[in-house]
Each structure stands twice: as structure tokens, then as C-alpha cells.
Chain A
Amino acid sequence: MTNLFSTTRRGALGLALGAAATFGLAMPAAAEVSFEGKTIEFIIPFSAGGGSDTWARFNAPLLGKYLPGNPTIVVVNEPGGGSTKGSNLFAARAKPDGLTVLGTSGSTQFPYLLGDPRVRYEYADWEIVMAAPTGGVAYVSPSTGVSSFEEIGKLKGQKLIYASQGATSLDLVPLLGFKQLGLDVQHVFGFKGRGDGRLAFERGETNIDYQTSSAYIKNVEPLVEAGTAVPLFSWGALDEDGNPVRDPTFPDLPDFSEAYELMTGNAPEGPGFDAYFAFFTAGFPAQKMMFLPKGTPQEIVDVYQAAVTEMKKDPDYIANKEAILGTYEQVTGKAADTLYKRGTVISPELRKQVVDMLAAEYNVKLGD
């Protein structure tokens, strides 16, 4: 508890400093860069109506309001190839003039980290504007005999069933996570979304599940109150330095690394944990990111980051953010940079380890 408190306070301080620093840098440049009368394309490599699209449509008008010259930002959906198509398009075509930005999600990060042959984009080339984190909570059915998270050890040796969207989807994080905890989980694939998975849990077809924070609060907490679900742990959040901490939305629940210690008695480390951690970061704390293309001049990056900082003070933003972002804050500047680096870099050994495991145990072949 105390740990959490000091971290968030430090985080908040760091954030404020970071923001001040970027803003200070941006001021002289802002006079030169202007998007007056321009239209900025915000490429979203997903169809309209999904999470990333909603996120983009929430941010677009607000960001436009605080960019110099008040440009119009339009959301352009370029779906296909599990978001690789739109991202490839951005990588190949976008000019570094600040008029094209890309919004990625965990589904864009994962194929990149796994080395999917369809990926022709390079995260390291891009300039990060902001990152939007998300979180989630894993829970089990009381039929497992677990009545609170302290009893997580009872799960050892039990047969658990999880409704998954696929081994290379965002559900790769629970797949790797459960494995690290030493749980015996049968992953049943082919679910269309976490909502579908929750339905299977409610029908009693599965006995372990997780939901992202807002869905958890709205749909699972009533189950917890009714005694038909028991929360285990949150996936956790990252502090300013990239260390795992409890999720500020669920301060009373242990985060994954605490659950790891509870289960295994060891400190969270080793290659298996590192592999999990890379995909966790790409899937949760750095889930949605906004990028400028390769070679964008620093002054354009600066005005964008400054606009994000300003946007977050807008009354409309404050009034509506909870519906879109949950209780998490979008970050820019240094904080975003940390998330971006952590969420898009993986060592070749770790990549190979995960890809080999997926191939051996789940028959996953990336590509043809």
C-alpha cells in the first residue's frame, strides 16, 4: 500500500516535470509550426466501432483544438491483416510533415514483437506522441474452491479453462502469465472478444477469465458481489521507471508480480517472466499509442506533445475521459517514451522462446 502511494506521487511529480519540460521546449517552436487550414489524417488500422476507433474519435477533435492553427483531425480507418495493413501503409506512405499520424494498439505491437511476416513497419523509426494505458483483472469461479486472492495457491494442479481470442492475440498475455504462475490452463480459442469470453464464464463453460478494467467494473463486480466470481489479481501498471506496481484502479488487489510471488515463492525474474513482461507492457501499459512517421522534425513532435498536455486540461476531455480511458491517464513526453521503448523492444532470444513455445504447444505458424 505504502509502496503504491509513494510511487504514484513520484509518478505524478515526474509527469508534471516532464510536461513542464516538454512544454518549455515547445514554446519557441510552436510559433513556427502551424497547421492552419490543414487536415490531419489520424490513421486507425482497425474498422470503425471498435476500441481503437472509439479512442481515436475521442481524441481527434480535442487534439485538433490544441495544435497550432487548429487543424481538423479526421480519423481514417484502414482495417485489414489484424491491423498490419494500415500500419504498413503508414510506414510506406506517410510524409514527415505532421499531417499524418498513426494510432496503434496491442494488436499492432504483437505481430511486430512476434516477427509476423506481414509486418513491414518498424516501431523504432517512429516518434511517439502519446500512450494510453489500460489494465485488467483476472478472476476465477468459486467452483475452484478459491474464495479470495490469498488462496490462489489452491489453483495449483487444478484443471482450468480459459476462453481465448487466439494464441497470438492480446490473449497471449494471459497465456504467458498463467504459464508463469504454473497454472494448468486449457485455452479454448475462437472467441470474438473478451465480452464473448465473459459470457462463456457466466455460462459456466470456463472457470478462469479476465476483463479490461472498465468491463470488469461494470460487468464482473456485480458477479463478485453475487459470489459467482472471485478476483485474483490485476495485470498491474508501470511506474515512471518502468517497474511493475499495483494498478491504481484496483489498489486492493495484488498485481501480477505479487501473485507470482504468492504462487511460486520466487521473485519475478528469469527469461520466462521477461517474455511475459514484454508482451504485458505492449498489451496493457502501452496498449494504445499515437505516432508521427519516420524523420518527423523535432519541433513538430514537440507541438504535438505540448498539445496533448494542453488537451488533458480541457473541460470536455476531463468530463468524457473516464468513459473512454477508464481511470487511466494518457501520457506524453518521457512517460510515453518509456512505455514505447518497453512495449516495442524484445530481444531475439525472448522472441524465439515465445514463438517456439507457441509453435510447439499451440501449432501456431506465423504466416503461410
Chain B
Amino acid sequence: MSEKQFFDEMWGRDAELRPPYQRFQNWFEGEDIARLRAKQREAEEVFRLTGITFNVYGRAEAEERLIPFDIIPRIISGREWQRLSRGIEQRVRAINAFLHDIYHRQEIVKAGRIPEQAISRNDAFLPQMIGVEPPGGIYTHIVGIDLVRTGDDQFYVLEDNARTPSGVSYMLENRETMLQMFPELFSQNRVQPVQSYPADLRRSLASCAPNGSDSPTVAVLTPGIYNSAYFEHAFLADQMGVELVEGNDLRVVDGKVAMRTTQGYQPIDVLYRRVDDDYLDPLNFNPDSALGIPGIMDVYRAGRITIANAPGTGIADDKAIYSYMPEIVEFYTGEKALLENVPTWRCAEPDALAYVLDHLSELVVKEVHGSGGYGMLIGPAATRKDLAEFRKKLMARPGNYIAQPTLSLSTVPIFTRNGLAPRHVDLRPFVLVGPNGINITPGGLTRVALKKGSLVVNSSQGGGTKDTWVLED
């Protein structure tokens, strides 16, 4: 019985309309399906014109694709959100404390809560960051926490994104599009606004500038126009009113990182970088990188630039470390974690590996360092051949994998040719961290698997997005 198996955020488990969707449903009942179909097409046209596209890796230059947008909002009540945001804030504080500890005294290792090799043998651990004090004491200025829901009050953290979380431009453009197309919905529902994100981001970044620069210069660093998220980089720079730079616009001048302008080199105080650690500094990291700024790490260590997020934060969102998050939260906050982790088997441990091999067809197996839904196995959906092949990979490099139970992800209706139909979703709220506090934008990015029954929401695998509403109760 599929109605019972999955929790639907609009209709619950028993086809009884849930309160946050009340007004929406009233509106929807009065709508003409043909008009909505036209609206759906109109929305796509808006996205195409605005150039809200992503580049597909490994394809020709011309390949810019739209992420499909679904016009049915995902609605969360104010009460639900409050609970969630407390959990998110606690988790983000713990992540920052963890990063500081890992790159300094490593108390958590000494206390035996995390095995030493989980850090020292981890590729995401950056020895260059040991003993470095990031300006303002902040490691993860921008965090995206991926959440899934399985029941009325049941949320799990699926993944922490502590490096360079993307997708916030979709959160903003989705809302902008909905405002344009369905203004009446926003008169009928009190939806908490998200539009202040770019201003908040700029303020938060500026508050982390090296020792109190008065009006710090902020810039966004992009790998360039061929990067899959280039649109978002340009969008954020534009919305914040700051320069969008590439590595070859920057160099170290007089002990500061500076950008080449039409009037000479101008120093930068805060660099919101959207490039990976490896491509940050060819002198300190990847010597083959053409993207980085030679010497930026020396400037950073001298405390003369803020890099957001700090290099080496990947150690906190690594999937192997993820399994220790309940311990990490408790260790640094002294409280039990408010948000639950998905139970996780670390295949590096022999008992866990044995269990995973025995139950492969029931589990989701992920690469420890993977992202974007690549290289994962979804047991229940896999063919016998897939399973056999994956078993080989798993046995060859068990330390490379973790396994989790297949969650019964909640569904939210999408608009199809025949009206509403449930599809699985996840949620990525965006969190800003500064010395003056933590700011969580109400809502976030809802990703939705457009294929019936599919659990994979990644845009690279055919997922779409929705506007996410948090109601003012």
C-alpha cells in the first residue's frame, strides 16, 4: 500500500489534508488545470530567459540545462520550522567547534570519541590548516544541511555541506518566479520571506573580515563560466554588489590578495570562494591547478584575508565523519543532538561490512567522498547485475563506502499533466555563520525526484526543484 508506506506532506498517511496546506488546497480547487499548465510553461520560459541554467559536466559548451521547476510549493508550518532550525543551529555550532578542535588540540580524538585514523587518514583533512586561526574564528561561513523527512515529526540529516554548498540561487529565483506568477497565493498565505539572503550573506561575510576592516571588500571566486554552478556564482556576486573574480584576476600584492581592476590592483578582505580546496593555491595544494592564486594560503595564515568557507572544512562533511555526528554534537554542545542522523554502517569496520554485504539489496551504499548522486547504489532499485558489480567494488575498497537503510522519504505533490501527483523530496536549508550569530533562511531548496517512485533528487540525475514555504503561524 503505497499511501501508507510514504508520508505525504500535503495529505499525511491517511489522505487527510495537513494544516499548512489548507489555504493552498482551497486555492488549488478553484484553479483551472489548463491555466496551471500554461503557468508551468511560462515558468520554464522565465528560467530559460534569465539564464538560470547549469552546465553539465563533460558536455559541449552549448549544453546548458534548466533544472526543472515545479509550480506546487512545498509548505512547512512555522512550528515545524522552529524545531528544525534549533536542530540546525546546534549542528552548525558543533561543526565549527569540531573543525577548530580538529585543527588544534584534537580533544575529541584524545577523548576517544573519534578514532585517530578517521582524521589523519582522511583526504579531506588539510595538514596546512593545523594551528591556523581563521578570522572571526569561523570555519564554515555558509552551510547547507540536507534533510529528509519520513513522518509528521520525523526529520533526518542526510548530509552536511560544509565546503561550498550550492543551490541558494534556486531558492531565491524559485520564490521570485512564484511571486510573479501567483501573487494571490502570497496574499492568502503568510509566507516568511527569503529575499534578504544576499544582503545577509554580504553582511555575514563582511563581519568575518580580518581584524576589523571598516568597509571590507568582498569578492566571489568562481572557477569560470564553464563551471556547472557559474550562474549561481554570478547571481550571488550581482545580488551582493561585489566583484566576481577568477584565479587569474587575483595575485598577491604587498602581502594582500588583490584583484586586477581597470585602475590597478585592489586588495580583497573577504573571498567567498566557490572553488575546491585543491584549486585554491597551486603553491600550497595542487601544483597543476591553473585556477588558484599562488601564495593565497600564506596571506591567509598571516590573517590578512578571510576565505569562506575556510580551507579544510571538508573534513566535517565527509560521509565517514558524518556517522560520528551524534557524538560530535554531544561532545561540543553538551546536549543530545536535536536532529537525527540516518543510521550508518561504516564499511571500513569488518562487522559493518559483513552486515552490509548480507543486506545489500535493502541498503543505500554511498562513496565516502562522492557527491551529486554519482557512484551510489540504491539496493532496492538495483538489478542483480548491479548488485554483483557493486559487491566487487565494495569488497575491493570497503573503506571507501558507507551504507544506510533506504529511507521512506516523504512526498510532496508535483503538478503533472493529470493534476497533482506525489513525488519524493529532500530539503536543503542554508545557514550563515558569523561571529555575531547564526542566520538560517526560512525555507531552503527543495529538490524533488520527478520520476514516479524515484528517490534520487539530484539535479544531475533528473531531479527538479520547488519553492519552499515556511508559514508564519
- Bound together: no
